[in-house]
């Protein structure tokens, strides 16, 4: 579903960044820790300013305080429109809302529960059907 939405927005000239939660957070931390920050490679700016950010597989990353802080900052900045642009975010996860509150800080859980529409998808995993 996320791929289909991304394709439609790309056709309309919008920018889309699609990444797994683990790679996204690692990339932000690597960028912030780098001594040689190249503005052309500013992944952090891209994450905050892309028209659509798709965070895939939230809950599969290993968590630490730095990753929690970065996830909060990303979600909060996009929710509050701190870049003065209309931006949207899709989060896919196998976690239910109780798991999100249990695994992440309350302030992350409350933003996801309060600012995102939550949809449940049921059915067979299409990846198994392809084999």
Q: Could you tell me what percentage of the chain is helix, strand and coil, using 3-state DSSP and rounding each to the nearest 5?
A: 55, 15, 35
Report pLDDT digits (tens) over 1-15: 899 999 999 999 999
Question: What CATH code is assigned to 2-31+40-120?
Answer: 3.40.50.300
Tell me the whole-structure pTM to 2 decimals.
Answer: 0.89
Extended strands (E) in 1-131: 16-20, 52-58, 88-93
pLDDT band at 123 (very low <50, low <70, confident <90, very high): confident
Would you state the structure tokens that stand for residue 12, as one six-digit string?
Answer: 């309309």
Name 114's Cβ contacts closer than 8 Å, sequence gap at least 6. Answer: none
Report pLDDT digits (tens) over 51-91: 999 999 999 999 999 999 999 999 999 998 866 778 999 99
Domain borders along the chain are: 2-31+40-120
Q: What is the DSSP letter of 51?
A: S
- Among the residue ranges 22-26, 45-49, 80-84, the one predicted with the least confidence is 80-84
């Amino acid at each position: 579903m996320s791929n289909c939405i991304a394709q439609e927005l790309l056709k309309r000239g919008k920018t889309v960044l699609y990444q797994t939660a683990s790679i996204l957070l690692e990339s932000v931390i690597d960028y912030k820790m780098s001594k040689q920050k190249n503005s052309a490679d500013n992944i952090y700016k891209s994450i905050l300013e892309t028209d659509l950010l798709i965070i895939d597989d939230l809950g599969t990353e290993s968590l630490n305080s730095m990753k929690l802080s970065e996830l909060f900052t990303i979600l909060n900045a996009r929710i509050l429109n701190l870049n003065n642009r209309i931006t949207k975010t899709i989060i896919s996860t196998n976690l239910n809302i109780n798991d999100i509150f249990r695994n992440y800080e309350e302030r992350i859980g409350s933003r996801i529960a309060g600012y995102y529409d939550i949809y449940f998808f049921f059915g067979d995993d299409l990846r198994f059907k392809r084999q």
